Amino acid sequence: MIQNDKNSRSASKQAYEVIRDRILNGDMPGGTKIVEEKLATDLGFSRTPIRESLRQLSHEGLIVNKKVVQPTEKDLRNLFQVRSLLEGFSAKAAATYLPEEDLNALSNCIKVGREGKVEEIMDANERFHEIIVQASGNALMIDTIDRMKPIIYLFRKTVVLYNRPRLIDEHEEIYEAIKARDGETAKKLMEDHLKEDLDFCLQILNSSRNE
């Protein structure tokens, strides 16, 4: 019985990862209708792990009303408002508490952002923000951002793939403010950075609607 439970959890995790990756990679674009039976057949899983994985993806916001999420302008604004509050605070905290090791890691993220390939840039972008959020030392804030990560990834992919202007320059400015231990400037720069991300994503969203 215990072994069966482990196998069930393993299958659910595998199904979750496959479906999540298909959504994040664009193989299942926004608006795609989710049909349990078809997914089970296509992916080679039984219905139970598919159902459990869909439940988790719904909890993460990637599936809404049995469809792959297709964020609206309101969704975007709500997401970035929360991020601005949490990450602005975190940037200010980082200017006070971030150790040299993490400063070096931020610097490396910027280097990869300028020189890396697309996937490397996306990973470096995520890591840059992750280091700063961790600096808040607030477990609830960190958990909130963690639960938002799949949705954040969709928009992070947009700003990287569509080459948002000054993306890495802004990271460098935030890094320099944190390094200089200037919390207020770091907070303001992070808020401005996320506002630029929001405006860029809204521009892409509106362009796609007009096509």
Give me the number of domains the chain comprises: 2
pLDDT at 207: 79
pLDDT at 40: 93
pLDDT at 6: 38
**Rounded CA separation 19/181 (Å):** 42
**Helix/strand/coil for 68:** strand
pLDDT at 7: 54
Which residues is 67 bridged to in the sheet? 33, 64
pLDDT at 211: 55
Centroid of chain to Cα 180: 27
The domain boundary residue, chosen from 37, 68, 99: 68
Are 59 and 29 within one domain? Answer: yes
CATH number of the domain bearing residue 179:
1.20.120.530
Which domain range does residue 61 map to?
2-68
**Rounded CA separation 5/109 (Å):** 40
Are 161 and 148 within one domain? Answer: yes
The predicted model scores a pTM of 0.84
pLDDT at 3: 36
Kindly give, in sequence order, each residue whose CB lies less than 8 Å from that of residue 123, ignoring residues fewer than 6 positions away: 112
Are 89 and 148 within one domain? Answer: yes
CATH number of the domain bearing residue 12:
1.10.10.10
Rounded to 10 degrees, the C-alpha dihedral 136/137/140/142 comes to: 60
Are 175 and 105 within one domain? Answer: yes
The domain boundary residue, chosen from 68, 84, 117: 68
120-157 as b/e, with b when 16 or more CB fall inside 10 Å? ebbbbbebbbbbbbbbbeeeebbeebeebebbbbbbbb
pLDDT at 172: 99
Are 112 and 44 within one domain? Answer: no
Are 37 and 131 within one domain? Answer: no
Which residues is 33 bridged to in the sheet? 67
**Residue the block writes with tokens 């709500």:** 78
Are 100 and 154 within one domain? Answer: yes
pLDDT digits (tens), the chain, 211 positions = 333 443 556 888 999 999 999 998 889 988 999 999 999 999 999 999 999 999 999 988 899 999 998 888 999 999 999 999 999 999 999 999 999 999 999 999 999 999 999 999 999 999 999 999 999 999 999 999 999 998 898 888 889 989 999 999 999 999 999 999 999 999 999 999 999 999 999 998 887 666 5
